[in-house]
Amino acid sequence: MMLLSVKETEKMDDIDAMFSDLLGEMNTLSQSLMPSVDRTEVDSALQTERTFSIGFTDLNESLKELEDHDLDALMADLASRSTTSECSLPTYQQAGSCTDNEMAASALPPPSNSAESSGGLQTIEPQTKSDKIKLALEKLKEAKVRKLIVKVLMSDGSSKILMVDERQTVREVLDMLFEKTHCDCSIDWSLCETNPELQIERGFEDHEHVVEPLSSWTRLSENKMYFVSRPQKYVMFTNPQVFYMWKKKKECSSKINEHAKQLLLQFSYSTLYLKEDGKKVWKPRYFVLRASGIYYVPKGKTKSSSDLVCFVHFEKFNIYNTKHFKLKYRAPTDFCFMLKHPCIQKESDYIKFLCCDDEHTLLLWVNSIRIAKYGTTLYKNYQAAMKKVHPSASHKEFFSG
């Protein structure tokens, strides 16, 4: 072992003292920067705000519009939140040595008195410990699910009030509306969002989770959600010949046999009008649709693949139908569509505007972009929608109508 001299020992003591002083100053500084409110209290306050309303001016209005069973469900959810908060979960977090099974088992609420305790024991006696743990975990998980109270507008001017959570897809919400409205369950029924400020609308895809796009709306937004029939929703499967023969004369499309309907849909490529950023000027550009996004040929370049420049990537953009863009943005025609990120709710330089020559070209581009963006998921949505209309039909019969 190596022995230190007296001078070296004194030097080490001085260094230790310097580090101790430095740590003390850092501790004092960190305490002075901490807010007066405890962080755990802030987090719990934020969690209580995870249930809010969409389509109402305030929460009181939305609660009054709820049906009895929806209100009961909401009250039960609030009660479960309070029960969870009263459990000794912070103790588990502080201990750190408890297992997940012990935490879940202890999270079960205790009986209120001895009589209820004996009755409760008789009821749950057949259950195993693993069943109790599973039930407790489900309750804890359920308390953290985000829910929205939404107002869905109908085509006749009426409305329906629904409570949806972040696990529900558009298909599931449509099934709820079928039960409430007693409509014909056609594959054309859709949930659509409208943005009056941007004068756009978009039909939600059946596989989307409803809460996700609605959560991007601002509190004071005038956006609305509609339950409407959109005949072009699954036109790529009901009339695929329109896409397969899109470069030929339209009158020839009626002569296509059933075999042609089974062929893969071709991606679109044509000249569209592009709106310059920040200006009401539209310039013609040659665009090509690929699986990853939309590409265009810059001015002065050829149409070869090496000269193509990426316009947008689909994972960051949704496609929206537009209204009155010929008047608002001086577009060449009214057959326009918009590409933007779903979180953008107001005018922005990151929004892309494109304009087509006619309605048929607009139909091809909008639906071809949907095919390129979602792929086979669209066909699975179509199968699920057809199964709702014809529960006994096989998926092989869907193309032979």
Q: Return the closest-CA partner of residue 275 out of 216, 201, 214, 350.
A: 350
Distance between CA atoms of 374 and 205, rounded to whole angstroms?
A: 9
The pLDDT score that the predictor gives to residue 301 is: 75
pLDDT digits (tens, 9 = 90+) for 172-200: 999 999 999 988 999 999 999 999 999 99
Q: Are strands 147-154 and 224-229 parallel, antiparallel or unpaired?
A: parallel
> How far is 163 from 158, CA to CA, in rounded Å?
17
Look over the chain and give the mean of its residue pLDDT values, rounded to a whole number: 73
User: Residue 251 gets which letter from DSSP?
Assistant: G
Threshold 0.95, pTM exceeds: no
Give the span between the Cα atoms of 373 and 278, in whole angstroms: 27
Radius of gyration of the chain (CA): 30
Q: Note the pLDDT of residue 385.
A: 95
Other CB atoms within a 10 A radius of the CB of residue 344 amount to: 17
Q: Half-sphere exposure of residue 183, counting CA atoms within 13 Å on the CB side?
A: 19
Buried b (16+ CB within 10 A) or exposed e, 190-218: bbbbbbeebbbbbbbbbebbbbebbeebe
Range 265-276 average pLDDT: 74
Neighbours of 336 (CB within 10 A): 27
Beta-ladder partners of 150: 54, 162
Measured CA to CA in angstroms, residue 228 lies from 160, 347, 360 at distances of 13, 26, 21
Give the range among 299-313, 336-350, 352-366, 377-391 with minimum mean pLDDT. Answer: 299-313
Q: What is the pLDDT of residue 78?
A: 57
Distance CA 299, CA 284 (A): 9
Average pLDDT over residues 65-75: 65
Most confident range, picked from 113-117, 317-321, 387-391: 317-321
Give the pLDDT confidence score for residue 292 in this predicted structure.
Answer: 82
